[in-house]
Amino acid sequence: KRQKLAQYNTVSDAVELIRNAKNIIVLTGAGISTSLGIPDFRSDTGIYAKLAECGLNDPQEMFDIDVFRSDPSIFYSFARLILPPSSSSRFTPTHAFIRLLQDKGKLLTNYTQNIDGVESVAGIRGEKLVQCHGSFGGAGCVTCGYKCPGEVIFGDIRAGRIPKCPLCLENPPMTTTTKKGKKRTENEEEEEEEDVDPSLGVMKPDITFFGEPLPPTFSSRLLGSPTPSTSPPRTPDAECCDLLIAIGTSLKVSPVSEILGLLPPHVPAVYVGIEAVKHVEFDVQLLGVGSDVVVEEVCRRLNWSDELRAIVSR
């Protein structure tokens, strides 16, 4: 388990760390988008509390790949709650701060767990971004693999309908028919029952569900690629990162929650959130007021306020 570095404790320490860092990993979660009206997952007002009210015993089932395969209607009855906002030109001061780190050449990588796509709206470049839990940017058929842009299935999602694959609708794939052994009298014939896969021909957004692997860039970028790739070799982030800033995440979902533990122990770590994180040792935690207020104050102390404002008002 990571040990706290004794020399860093205060807001000023966090500001100095940002001033001096050259390769910052920013690890983000749902808390950086709440000020846009997008709920987070685990707060009292978050998605999971809403799902519990709607009767789901374990609200995380909504994102469970086995549950999706056996009954996609569970995901699709709630998916509209997590769709990216329809006005796609908005982002928060926190997104602007990450963009500013990029503009200043300090952003190594933004590992985001968010599926709202707001990072790109703020101008964080694709090559600086790892969408650890995928996104609504694309969708694919779970049966034939047909791919389409994510927006194509938004209409169905908003209407609470299960989006279907156009190719599978045209050429229905073979269904499996099984004889179900049923208790019957001597004279009764055994009934044949169709046991149709409920997810047959269903489209799924490119979100990483529990039980699915993360996109391969997550570990190759962080730790290096196990197999030589065709692109020019890149130093793994874990080897060159000199500061980690985690913002707006409960760090409850692995493997993203393990990133800090995979960095060398001398790399300082700052947390920005509402409540203290107790299961991971950060050097400085900036809490209580929300990340937008924190980044504004940090930028004030760094003399970056004008630049932050310029990005926010773009």
Q: Which stretch binds ligand OAD (CB under 6 A): 33-41, 182-190, 198-206, 238-246?
A: 33-41
How far apart are the C-alpha atoms of 94 and 268, rounded to whole Å? 20
Tell the smallest beta-carbon distance from residue 273 to ligand OAD (Å): 4
Q: Nearest residue by C-beta to ligand OAD?
A: 31
110 binds ligand OAD (CB under 6 A): no
Closer CB to ligand OAD, residue 240 or residue 276? 276
Give the number of residues in contact with ligand OAD, rule: CB under 6 A.
Answer: 26
DSSP code, position 64: B
Helices (H), 24-144: 47-53, 65-70, 72-78, 93-103, 118-121
Q: Is 54 annotated as a binding residue?
A: no
- Using the rule CB under 6 A, which residue among 15, 18, 30, 243 binds ligand OAD? 30
- Using the rule CB under 6 A, which residue among 84, 205, 248, 268 binds ligand OAD? 248
Tell the smallest beta-carbon distance from residue 45 to ligand OAD (Å): 9
Sign of the dihedral through C-alpha 140, 145, 147, 153:
negative
Type of residue numbered 68: F
Q: What angle do CA 41, 42, 46 make, to 5 degrees?
A: 55
275 binds ligand OAD (CB under 6 A): yes
46 binds ligand OAD (CB under 6 A): yes
Q: Is 141 annotated as a binding residue?
A: yes
Beta carbons within 8 Å of 2's beta carbon, 6+ residues apart: 260, 261, 265, 269, 280, 281
| Residue 119-158 contact track with ligand OAD, rule CB under 6 A, x = bound | --------------x-------------------------
Query: How many C-beta atoms lie closer than 10 Å to residue 289's C-beta?
Result: 12
Q: Is 165 annotated as a binding residue?
A: yes
| Residue 69-108 contact track with ligand OAD, rule CB under 6 A, x = bound | ----------------------------------------
Residues in a beta bridge with 141:
203
Helices (H), the chain: 11-20, 47-53, 65-70, 72-78, 93-103, 118-121, 154-158, 166-170, 217-223, 237-240, 259-262, 291-302, 305-312
Chain residues 283-312 in contact with ligand OAD, contact rule CB under 6 A: 290-291
Chain residues 186-245 in contact with ligand OAD, contact rule CB under 6 A: 207-208
Q: To which residue do tokens 């790892």 refer?
A: 130
Torsion of CA 20, 130, 33, 78, to 10 degrees: -160
- Using the rule CB under 6 A, which residue among 131, 219, 220, 249 binds ligand OAD? 249
Are residues 157 and 83 in contact, defined by beta-carbon separation less than 8 angstroms? yes
Is 279 an active-site residue? no
| List of residues contacting ligand OAD (CB under 6 A) | 29-31, 34-35, 40-43, 46, 63, 113, 115, 133, 207-208, 248-250, 252-253, 273-275, 290-291
The residues that are catalytic are 133
